[in-house]
């Protein structure tokens, strides 16, 4: 078997880029939040400082091996998710591992990080973690329904389960899926709000309510790994949505603009909204977003 | 090839500088609102004084925190909880004593119910004077802590570990029903 070194290099560059972009977006989000609250806000690299600091802390907590494995699991899952998404269209370097059927694969692999976190947090025995995990899984069940409906609608409409084919049909601005199948877009983007976990859907971490939920017993390096995984996963989700609905990107520069603008949607909605309760969040996702998703599937199958 | 002029000790120092830089710019605060001074924390953190400019942020649990902020007098009952909280934090960790009450007892100096000098029980890195200190001086205290960290002098956690017996002796004078897990560093 010959090894494709270019591809392996592409994978490594992708992961590193995803981490730094995700962390930078997180920092910029804090700056934007601060400006809206009439504050000056932290430096844009604040999230990177936080992560370096967390990695440089010592730790001596031991609740059992699942606690040590949980963050590793989360980081593995988010990296895997990222690696199966083509970053740029028609690029040999950045197509990564995408294959026929990667959309179906992504549906599965995207929940793995949450599961790893849930198992790790469960072992710490902290009641706040348990509450956070149960909230997180409820919310997952909530937003997965419209998300999968919107993906299924696209799959039926274009008769493909390959992200590269989806990119190929969006060859010009008016062929973006946001115009070709607006109902799938509505369902997808509303599910995306839940996926990003900004208010009103930050019921999982809710620092003032359940003391940051699942990671409440995780400090230092464990928390650093969770934040790393979160940065990578944020970028993966953004690229996935840009690929599905906004025609992908031809070069890195356009990719950054598109992902950043997309990132602003949940953030700006979050800044001006209070937090939902768990059942409100689930009811929200099973209301209009699911209806949009069903309409999209019916229209596509027509 | 590595530069032969950089020896083992200097290499460690470069790593320390990077670490201290990150630590200095990212202080997650566990505000233990024991006394009346705690009322000055919300304005420090929110729009008016915006402590997030310096990377200072509230943290939700002791496990994630770097700084334990003792805001004012400590009742003998709360001391036990404070020590427990401090010992759950992950090193390197810092303690800021906030208000005159933590320094010498302040206006509660002769109370039967409060401790007088905080640094007999916990290793305090920075004191902020005043009854109560205004947000400006709180931020000044944090900046002092940042400069101590940058110089590598904020080593309260190491001192605590070295002099654990002395601290335990003092703590047990106040806390009579001592039932706590061992300090595991
Ligand atoms: S120093 Fe003054 S303001 Fe602070 S706790 Fe003591 S009495 Fe209250």
CB contact under 8 A, B52 and A42: yes
Q: Find the mean pLDDT for residues A94-118.
A: 79
- List, for residues A217-249, the tens digit of each pLDDT value: 887 888 888 889 889 999 998 988 888 888 878
| Residue B52 touches partner A, C-beta closer than 8 Å | yes
Q: What is the pLDDT of residues A170-208, one digit of tens each?
A: 777 777 877 888 888 889 889 988 888 888 888 878 777
Burial class of residue A113 (count of CB atoms within 10 Å of its CB; 0-12, 13-18, 19+): buried
Determine the residue of chain A that is closest to B50 in CA distance. A39
Cα of B134 vs its chain's centroid, Å: 18
ipTM surpasses 0.85: no
Residue B50: list chain A partners with CB under 8 A: 34, 39-41
Rounded to the nearest angstrom, the distance between the alpha carbon of B134 and the centre of ligand 1 is 12
Question: Which residue out of B31, B33, B35, B44 has the highest number of ligand 1 atoms within 8 Å of its CB and is therefore the one to mutate?
Answer: B35
Domain boundaries, chain A: 5-301
CB-based contact B60 A212, cutoff 8 Å: yes
Q: Do B32 and B69 form a contact (C-beta atoms < 8 A)? A: yes
Q: Out of 3.10.105.10, 1.10.3720.10, 3.40.50.12280, 3.40.190.10, select the CATH number for domain B16-174.
A: 3.40.50.12280
Q: Do B25 and A40 touch (CB under 8 A)?
A: no
- Would you place residue A146 in the very low, low, confident or very high pLDDT band (cuts 50, 70, 90)? very high
What is the distance in angstroms between the Cα of A30 and the nearest Cα belonging to chain B? 9
Nearest Cα to Cα of residue A193 among A87, A288, A113? A288
Inter-chain contact A212–B25, Cβ cutoff 8 Å?
Answer: no
End-to-end CA distance of chain B: 38
**Which chain B residue has the Cα nearest residue A41?**
B53
CA-based radius of gyration for chain B: 18
Instruction: Please indicate whether residue B105, judged by its CB atom, sits closer than 6 Å to ligand 1.
Output: no
Ordered by start, the domain boundaries in chain B are 16-174
Report the C-alpha gap between B171 and B150 in whole angstroms.
30
- Which pTM does this prediction carry? 0.86
Q: Helices A5-36 and A252-271, interaxial angle, to 10°?
A: 30
Ligand 1 centre to CA of B104 (Å) is 11
């Amino acid at each position: 078997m010959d090894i494709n070194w270019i591809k392996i290099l592409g994978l490594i560059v992708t992961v590193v880029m995803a981490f730094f972009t995700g962390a930078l977006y997180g920092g910029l989000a804090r700056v934007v939040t601060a400006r809206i609250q009439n504050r000056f806000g932290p430096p844009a690299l604040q999230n990177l400082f936080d992560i370096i600091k967390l990695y440089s802390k010592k730790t001596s907590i031991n609740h059992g091996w699942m606690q040590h494995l949980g963050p590793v699991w989360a980081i593995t899952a988010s990296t895997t998710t990222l690696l199966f998404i083509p970053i740029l269209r028609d690029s040999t370097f950045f197509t990564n591992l995408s294959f026929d059927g990667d959309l179906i694969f992504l549906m599965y692999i995207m929940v793995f990080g949450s599961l790893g976190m849930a198992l790790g947090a469960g072992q710490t025995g902290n009641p706040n973690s348990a509450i956070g995990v149960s909230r997180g899984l409820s919310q997952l069940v909530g937003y997965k329904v419209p998300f999968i409906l919107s993906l299924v609608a696209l799959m039926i409409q274009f008769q493909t389960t390959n992200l590269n084919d989806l990119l190929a049909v969006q060859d010009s601005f008016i062929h973006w899926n946001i115009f070709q199948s607006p109902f799938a877009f509505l369902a997808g983007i509303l599910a995306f709000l839940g996926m990003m976990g900004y208010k009103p859907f930050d019921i999982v971490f809710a620092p003032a309510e359940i003391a940051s939920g699942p990671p409440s017993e995780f400090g230092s390096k464990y928390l650093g790994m969770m934040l790393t995984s979160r940065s990578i996963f944020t970028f993966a989700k953004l690229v996935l949505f840009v690929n599905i609905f906004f025609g992908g990107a031809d070069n890195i520069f356009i990719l950054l603009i598109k992902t950043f603008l997309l990132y602003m949607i949940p953030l700006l909605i979050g800044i001006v909204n209070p937090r939902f309760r768990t059942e409100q969040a689930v009811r929200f996702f099973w209301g209009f977003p699911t209806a949009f998703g069903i309409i999209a599937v019916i229209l596509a199958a027509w | 090839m590595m530069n032969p002029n950089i020896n083992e000790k200097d290499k460690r120092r470069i790593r320390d500088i990077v670490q201290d830089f990150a630590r200095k710019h990212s202080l997650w605060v566990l505000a233990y609102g024991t006394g009346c001074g705690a009322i000055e924390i919300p304005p420090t953190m929110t729009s008016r004084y915006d402590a997030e400019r310096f990377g200072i942020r509230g943290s939700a649990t002791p496990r994630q925190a770097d700084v334990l902020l003792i805001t004012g007098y400590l009742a003998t009952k709360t001391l036990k909880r404070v020590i427990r909280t401090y010992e759950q934090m992950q090193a390197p960790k810092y303690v800021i004593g906030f208000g005159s009450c933590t320094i010498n007892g302040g206006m509660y100096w002769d109370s039967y119910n409060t401790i007088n000098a905080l640094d007999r029980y916990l290793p305090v890195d920075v004191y902020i004077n005043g009854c109560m200190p205004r947000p400006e001086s709180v931020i000044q205290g944090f900046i002092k802590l940042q400069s101590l960290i940058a110089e590598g002098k904020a080593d309260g956690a190491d001192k605590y570990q070295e002099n654990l017996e002395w601290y335990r002796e003092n703590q047990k004078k106040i806390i009579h029903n001592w039932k706590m897990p061992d300090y595991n560093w």
